[in-house]
A = this chain, B = another copy of it.
Amino acid sequence: MAKYDNLREQILDQARHLLVEKGYINVTMRKVAHLVGCTPTSIYLYFENKDALIHSLIEEGMDILHQKIKECLAAESDSAAQFKRMCHSFLEFGFTNPEYYVVMFQLPTDEMVPYPAEKYRRARSNLQQFADVLHQARGEKQPTIDPLVDATMVWSLLHGATSLYLAQRIDARIPKELFLTRTVDYAASMLNPIHQSS
């Protein structure tokens, strides 16, 4: 029992590790097994096939992020505060859990990892819920501006920031914490009106 969970988790760990360190195409049953120190066959004792393994990875991440976001809602009563906290949480989640972030948001899922549509909806809802809070906070002040577009742009910002950070394309002179808080500020500026394009 202990051993069961142990090996299963080792497999997940090493798969995650490979994914982040070497990219998806380097996540092979053989390589994972090698890192774990078991036979490729053994992996099939815990996962039906490679897809199932990847899906487990994705779901793990979804759960964690979901939990984090729920905590943000509970921690604050003000919509704007909730929003900012959520932005921060999202970034922090990505920054500190590259293994999950990559698998959740950067996998070219279309062709590579056929993922049950139902589960995808859940994945999106995670971000949708995220967007909803912006709605609320924005809605109170700016009912005229389409909040869907703005939410999408906030999402773009957060996703882009995380992606570049994880790809180590952020200038080394910028401290992580600074980048993080300033990005949240930039996102929070969405709570206020934007100047129309000239």
Contact = CB atoms under 8 A, between A and B. Distances in A.
Interface of A: 21-26, 84, 106, 108, 110-112, 124, 148-150, 152-153, 155-161, 163-164, 167, 169-171, 173-174, 178-179, 181-186, 188-190, 192, 194-197
Contacts of A189: 189, 194-195
A197 B196 CA distance: 24
A187 to B, nearest CB: 9
A106 B148 CA distance: 25
A186 B182 CA distance: 15
B164 A155 contact: yes
B152 A22 contact: no
B124 A152 contact: no
- Of the listed residues A24, A106, A159, A192, the one surrounded by the most CB atoms of chain B closer than 10 A to its CB is A159
Chain A residues touching B, majority SS: helix
Contact of A25 (B111, B184, B195, B196): B111
- Please give the count of copies of this chain that the complex contains: 4
A153 B171 CA distance: 11
Contacts of A21: 110-111
A160 B156 contact: yes
A54 B35 CA distance: 28
Contacts of A153: 157, 161, 179, 182-183, 186
Nearest to A127: B169
B183 A197 contact: no
B164 A163 contact: no
B149 A174 contact: yes
Contacts of A194: 182, 185-186, 189
Given A26-B111, A150-B182, A160-B161, 15 more contacts: A21-B111, A24-B25, A110-B167, A149-B174, A149-B178, A149-B182, A153-B186, A156-B183, A160-B163, A163-B163, A185-B195, A186-B194, A189-B189, A189-B195, A192-B195
